[in-house]
Structure formats: C-alpha cells, structure tokens
Amino acid sequence: MTDAYGTFDPADRPGKAATPQDQPTLKAEDGTELPGFDQRHSEAFQGLNYLGSLTKSFSWLGHEFVIRTLGVDEQLAVAQVAGKYKDGGEQLAYATAVVALAVVTVDGEELPSPIGEDGQLAEWAHKRFAYVKANWFQPTINHVWQEYLQLEDKVAQVIEAMGKAFGPAA
C-alpha cells in the first residue's frame, strides 16, 4: 500500500518524515521558544488550507484507488443517501455512501457519473451510491472505508499540529 497524502491531486507525492532538527521554532514576544509547525504535515496542511481536502492512494486486490476527504455539501449528501436506510442498514448505507463520494479514481478511471451539466449534488450522490452498492462487494467497500477513516485521521493530526504550532492567542 502506498500512502500519498497531499492536495486533491492524484499524483503520488510522498512526504518526507521530519526529524527533530527539522522542527522550526517560533519566538514569543518575551523571547520564549515555541514549537513551530510540524513539517511532516506541511504538505497536508497546504491541501487543507488551499483546497480543503486531502487525497490518498492505495492498492487493493490489484487495483489502484485514489480517495479524498469530503466537503460539507458532500457529507450532507451522504446523510441524505443513508437516511433512506434509517430503519435498518444505516451504518452500511452510510459507509457505502461515503466510499461512493470519496473515490476519485479506480485504476485511473473515475466512477460513472450522471451525464449532463453540474446538477444537484444529491442526485449525483444517489447515482454514485447506487453504482457502488450494486457493483462492489462488501469487502472492497469495507477496505476503502477503512482507508477513508485513516485519511480523516490524518486531517485530525494536521489540525492538531496546527493548534500546537500556533497555540492559543494571548
């Protein structure tokens, strides 16, 4: 499996692990040294700051997947899609909907999308969900879901690192 965190760009761009001497320090007004931003997260920070999403590439059963984090509109579309299953199967529907919207490419190809102009996100989400639900087996959905959770964890790490680097305002 290849972890390629970065901005919403399918190109593999593995990051360099920071060493303690790579950690920048900041000086407070009183001269106290403060920790700087952890350089291991700088590329991910750029993705979050400028584009609002991170991507990750990985292999599964001989196929190359690229996934990305979801924006608020997409998360709300996931809720609409999964809401139909509130009386049973909601967790499976939710994971399947997230996977359907998070997948950028499989083997370099995008998932089927509705033809036409940029329509309603909810309609697009329902069609992507229906495609994944009908054509992918649950072990694949489960694996992509786990990879997505790891990507969301990376987002949390970047945000935590940002908080440590800049600290609370005095």
Domain ranges (residues) in the chain: 20-165
pLDDT score for 99: 97
pLDDT score for 155: 80
Residue 147 CA neighbour count, 13 Å, CB half: 27
Residue 12 CA to chain centroid, in angstroms?
15
Is 26's pLDDT higher than 60? no
Is 157's pLDDT higher than 50? yes
Neighbours of 45 (CB within 10 A): 20
Average pLDDT, the chain: 74
- Total-model pTM: 0.67
> Rounded to an integer, what distance in angstroms lies between the CA atom of residue 91 and that of residue 142?
11
pLDDT score for 1: 44
How sure is the predictor about 65, in pLDDT bands with cuts at 50, 70 and 90? very high
Q: What is the pLDDT of residues 104-132, one digit of tens each?
A: 999 999 887 665 555 577 788 899 999 99
The CA-atom distances, in angstroms, between 89 and each of 95, 121, 123, 129, 167 are 10, 23, 21, 14, 42
**Regarding predicted confidence, which is higher, 168 or 10?**
168
pLDDT score for 34: 45
Is 50's pLDDT higher than 80? no
The average pLDDT across 65-92 equals: 91
pLDDT score for 142: 97
> Which of 17-21, 57-61, 161-165 has the highest average model confidence (pLDDT)?
57-61
* H or E, element range at 144: helix 138-166
